[in-house]
Structure 1
Amino acid sequence: MCQVGEEYGAPAPEVPPPPPPPRAGRELKCVKCSEGLPVVVIRAGDAFCRDCFKAFYVHKFRAVLGKNRLIFPGEKVLLAWSGGPSSSSMIWQVLEGLSRDSAKRLRFVPGVVYVDEGAACGQSPEDRAKTLAEMKLILQTVGFPWHIVALEEVFGLPPSVLRHLAQEPSGTKGAYKAAVDSFLQQQHAPAPGEEQLSQPGSQDPQGPAGLPTAAQTEAQAPTAAQTEALSRLFDSVKTLTAKEELLQTLRTHLILHVARTHGYSKVMTGDSCTRLAIKLMTSLALGRGAFLAWDTGFSDERHGDVVVVRPMRDHTLKEVAFYNRLFAVPSVFTPAIDTKAPEKASIHRLMEAFMLRLQAQFPSTVSTVYRTSEKLVKAPRDGNSGGPPGPRCLLCMCALDIDTADSATAFGAQTSHLSQMQPPTPPAEAPTTPCCSAGVGRAQGCCRGAGPCRREDPRASVIEQLCYGCRVNMKDLPSLDPLPPYILTEAQLRSQRASVLQEIQEYLIDSDDEVQTGES
């Protein structure tokens, strides 16, 4: 206890605070080579120097392509370029993979496509011309064959773009190795008298991919009527969510048409790991859970003859930004349809803000969601893999996942509601008008009598050919008239085929009937 008059010693000296821990990237060394000074910190404790980070980044890109083995040597691949960081980095990876200095050079033949979406995003003609000039400058530097198309060209697409074409068998691993050996033999044994011509703008004039001369395919400037029709289409859509989904659908159809026209069998997109994680959660919110394996997987075979691949799916947006900054990868900023939109303006914006905010607090959020998408399996409905292909959605071209009318799901309720919709009954005093198939072709028309045409509602016939997610988006489109003609034409053709098939169904012989007849 303290005593009165007790003398105490001098106060204890203050202990200085411990020094702060060394900041990552200064006193630390590269985690891979343990020699160079780190310049990039990808995750906590993962600090890379410049050379090791480049090797790490390039290895990710090559490993995805080598592990899946979907792209055969000499195959034409179309690179979908938007001007953004991820797609620009993808093009630079392909360019370096085809160069002479590459250790294992890529063997496919690349081409680049750019879709001008300025009319849908509200850009002025001057801004669109300036953006196109910047795009052309970068494309000329790259040296690949390139194709520039405007989004207004969707009003001139044929209905066949919405049809699933037969896909050639991809073969096994043995077929891939045989194709590689055959390709290498052709490269090492050129034909006699063959001249090696240098190509302008190509870093590897004698590369194994056999790059063609840089062909420039630029469509004519869209007419004022097409631009006005596209603006009217997007102005008629009520919500920003439906606008983004419609824009993505039209862009996919246009890229698919370019690929089929110029003979490309693969299309590469620059979807990164972060974007795919956001897309997975967004697709769940939009009712597209049945198609997550196609929307977020490495390959998407829904179109049949053209396969969409995503080689950048292992790279995060942070890694892409660091790589583009360190190695001066050029990119062009183009305003999107949701630029400057508030956070709650659409489901896409809301889910993106939600995921990025979680990623900032819990750094493993994106990787966890992404790994979940890798476990999804592309399985047909009810395991009917050997049967004939079922109907496909008119817009997204995925297999329709239609429940029966007595189903308790929301999709089944919508299907039941559409099946119960009947065309309005004409008034009794209405005069008798000839059928739409009057004359010689009456027996082949939609009506069988002399009464008024009982053709079903065109909107109901289109909605019945959509999946659940596309039906939800079409609710925000009051009228189908602004849609491009190829969509309405294909919907009418499908309805006519279905009605004709229903009429002749009783005259067709099933395979089971043939077996029973043979046994008897």
Structure 2
Amino acid sequence: MCQVEEEYHGPLQREELPSVSKQCMKCKEAGAAVVIRAGDAYCRGCFKEYFIHKFRAMLGKNRLIFPGEKVLLAVSGGPSSCSMLSQVQEGLSQNAHKKLRFLPGIVYIDEGGAVGQSVEDRRRTVDQLQAVFRATGFPFLVVPLEQVLDLPSSVVLSAPGAPEWKAGAYKAAVDHFLLSDGSSGVTAQQQQETPPLEVQEAHTHSLQRLLGSARTLTAREELLNTLRQHLLVHTARSAGYSKVMLGDSCTRLAVKLLSSISLGRGAQLAHDTGFSDSRYGDIILVRPMRDYSAKEIAYYNRMFSVPSVFTAGLETKTADKSSIQRLTESFVTKLQADFPSTVSTIYRTSEKLQSCKSLASAGGDRCLLCVCALDTAAENASAFSATLISEQLSQTQSPEQSRPAPEAPPPASQCCSAVGGEACGNRGGGCCSSADRLRRFSRTTSCRRLRGDSGGLS
């Protein structure tokens, strides 16, 4: 036990904290430049190879994009979509190890009108993104969100999809593409220049009124996501593209999974978070960035100077509890900081989800907003049935509401002793005051209600 007069002359010993390995875990030679997870340290070169290989492996494992197919890249200017654009540009370069064989195009949906940006700010953002797009050499389109108001009704209908490919069809398509020397056709597209952004002010006001009709920020974000997706599908159909690449990262999909469950979209999770989304039939949405976390994307963009442009959204500068999506994002990111396997666990769960084939049948009814199969034909013991029962009970008139309204108190000219033949209790003689009569009448009516009789009142 320590003593008061005890003297310590020896040097103090510093506790050794566990340090991260300073050597690359792959090449075992170069020093580590980035640490993705505990024990996963990479040098600069190995991290680039790891990042590129994951993108190629995601496309090669699913074998959904065939050689020579036109693919539209949906770029919003954020880190994830710009990193996806960089990976496609890297895969189409001449020195690529496993070269990509599809024909890419770029589309940017300008959502400045939805968040109240001025025309000058919107043009400034478009100019910055056009400079990034021109550097790639791919054809690109800039589409304002206001065009969603002029879309035909066919955009909410599921068009007949392409015929299903048999086993071995992908390899046969690759062999045929190589024999026909189709590799030269990948870079044969000419870059298209889009005209300056011209949006009518009346369309912007109509879009803002449409979004303002949603009472909560949660509903506005869902509506904006639906409008954006419809515009992407229509643009792909009009330009002759059969696939649309989205830049959703693993972190974004984990947030979307939990928020969709909270919003009652559990039956549509396979379409909202899976690698491929075929709800539109002829246009298939793919998510090749779903294996990357937001941390990996940020490190790669920082180390290899991948340009990105910040664009404001509906949730920009909002509190954590302003919407379900914002609250879920805050919860997941804060939990990820203390438990690094949070996002990966949620993501692996989403990989196992599949859409019910009975709901996704061709003859079934579909929602006019999200174009997913309706899940209203549920069993008696379902959550939807419980919701209907609660709604019916809330609309049923209660016994208190079904009783007739009480009669008004007697007028001032009539003495309160005339009510029910009872004396008012005024010992001074004469009739009591108006306040006393009203108090006496209320007490008498309450007693009669407890007895269950009307007391002869008419």
TM-score (norm 1): 0.71
Kindly report which structure 2 residues correspond to 1:405-444, keeping only aligned pairs within 5 A, or say none: 409-410=383-384, 413-414=387-388
Answering whether residue 241 of structure 2 is matched by residue 245 of structure 1, we say no
Residue matched to 2:63:
69
- How far off its partner does 1:163 sit? 0.7
Kindly report which structure 2 residues correspond to 1:36-115, keeping only aligned pairs within 5 A, or say none: 36-115=30-109
The 3 A distance-change label for structure 1 pair 168 and 219 is farther
Contact 2:277 2:285 in 1 (8 A): yes
AA aligned opposite 2:54: K
Residue matched to 1:448:
none
Q: How far apart, CA to CA, are the structure 2 residues paired with 1:416 and 1:183?
A: 59
Contact 2:267 2:355 in 1 (8 A): no
The 3 A distance-change label for structure 1 pair 147 and 114 is same
The structure number with the bigger radius of gyration is: 2
Kindly report which structure 2 residues correspond to 1:71-470, keeping only aligned pairs within 5 A, or say none: 71-187=65-181, 207=184, 209-218=186-195, 221-381=198-358, 388-403=362-377, 409-410=383-384, 413-414=387-388
- How far off its partner does 1:207 sit? 4.5
Q: How far apart, CA to CA, are the structure 1 residues paired with 2:140 and 2:214?
A: 32
- How far off its partner does 1:220 sit? 5.5
CA deviation string 1:24-78 (max 9, x = no partner): 36xx211111111111010111111000000111111011000000000000000
The 3 A distance-change label for structure 1 pair 29 and 400 is same
Q: List alignment gaps of at least 5 residues for structure 2.
A: 1-5, 396-458
The 3 A distance-change label for structure 1 pair 404 and 181 is closer
AA aligned opposite 2:10: E
Answering whether residue 20 of structure 2 is matched by residue 24 of structure 1, we say yes
- How far off its partner does 1:403 sit? 2.7
Please give the secondary structure, in 2, of the residue aligned with 1:128.
helix
Q: How far apart, CA to CA, are the structure 2 residues paired with 1:143 and 1:309?
A: 22
- How far off its partner does 1:388 sit? 4.4
Residue matched to 1:481:
none
Please give the secondary structure, in 2, of the residue aligned with 1:173.
coil
Residue matched to 2:428:
none
Contact 1:149 1:219 in 2 (8 A): no
The 3 A distance-change label for structure 1 pair 405 and 66 is closer
- How far off its partner does 1:99 sit? 0.2
Count matched residues.
389
Please give the secondary structure, in 1, of the residue aligned with 2:302.
helix
CA deviation string 1:305-360 (max 9, x = no partner): 00000000000000000000000000000111110011100000000000111111
- How far off its partner does 1:21 sit? 3.9
- How far off its partner does 1:219 sit? 7.4
- How far off its partner does 1:361 sit? 1.0
Q: How far apart, CA to CA, are the structure 2 residues paired with 1:366 and 1:407?
A: 32
- How far off its partner does 1:225 sit? 1.0
Please give the secondary structure, in 1, of the residue aligned with 2:95.
coil
Greater shift in the superposed pair: 99-108 or 216-225? 216-225
Please give the secondary structure, in 2, of the residue aligned with 1:313.
coil
Q: How far apart, CA to CA, are the structure 2 residues paired with 1:411 and 1:87?
A: 40
Contact 2:67 2:101 in 1 (8 A): yes
Q: How far apart, CA to CA, are the structure 1 residues paired with 2:378 and 2:40?
A: 52
- How far off its partner does 1:246 sit? 0.5
Contact 2:106 2:140 in 1 (8 A): yes
- How far off its partner does 1:408 sit? 5.7
Q: How far apart, CA to CA, are the structure 2 residues paired with 1:323 and 1:86?
A: 10
Please give the secondary structure, in 2, of the residue aligned with 1:379.
coil
CA deviation string 1:240-264 (max 9, x = no partner): 0000000000000000000000111
Contact 2:271 2:355 in 1 (8 A): yes
AA aligned opposite 2:83: S
Contact 2:73 2:106 in 1 (8 A): yes
Please give the secondary structure, in 1, of the residue aligned with 2:104.
strand
The 3 A distance-change label for structure 1 pair 376 and 404 is closer
- How far off its partner does 1:234 sit? 1.7
Q: How far apart, CA to CA, are the structure 1 residues paired with 2:23 and 2:262?
A: 44
What's the RMSD between the two structures over aligned residues?
A: 2.4
Q: How far apart, CA to CA, are the structure 1 residues paired with 2:185 and 2:87?
A: 16
Please give the secondary structure, in 1, of the residue aligned with 2:267.
helix
Q: How far apart, CA to CA, are the structure 2 residues paired with 1:176 and 1:408?
A: 41
Contact 2:114 2:208 in 1 (8 A): yes
TM-score (norm 2): 0.80
Contact 2:248 2:290 in 1 (8 A): yes
